[in-house]
Amino acid sequence: MIVLAVLAILVAVGYPGYQDQIIENRRTDGQKILLEVMNQQQMFYSRNSSYTLDLIGGLNLTDAGGGAVASDKNFYLVSAAVCDIPTPITDCVLLTATPQSGQVGDGQLTYNSRNEKTPLGKW
């Protein structure tokens, strides 16, 4: 009985830390896809003097639905937008990785062509 009590305490203390570690590990899936898509955006920019909002047609990436691109492990969907108004797409693109399934509670990751990444604590 004492062994079960000790085991229960260990599980109660260790499980939240385990869950946090899983979320952090999955976050690298989102960071990786953002870096890969931004690399594609930079190559597109070097050829066209502009970024593109069309990740599928413009960058030849695989459509995961709605014009978004899925990360390797499907924990994130990436979309593109203009950084801010009135900044044109020729000057800046903002990529947003939106978490999916078990990663939803972690929030979005963003990365723009000015090399600004948010939220800072998740990079």
Task: State mean pLDDT over 98-102.
Answer: 92
CA distance 20 to 17: 5
Report residue 19's pLDDT band, with 50, 70 and 90 as the boundaries.
confident
pLDDT at 9: 73
* pTM across the whole model: 0.85
Greater confidence (2 vs 35) lies with 35
pLDDT at 109: 98
Amino acid (one-letter) located at 78: V
Task: State mean pLDDT over 16-35.
Answer: 88
- Strand order across the beta sheet in which 76-82 lies: 69-70, 76-82, 93-99, 109-112, 117-118
Task: State mean pLDDT over 49-64.
Answer: 95
CA distance 78 to 37: 8
Task: State mean pLDDT over 59-74.
Answer: 94
* Domain coordinates in residue numbering, the chain: 27-122
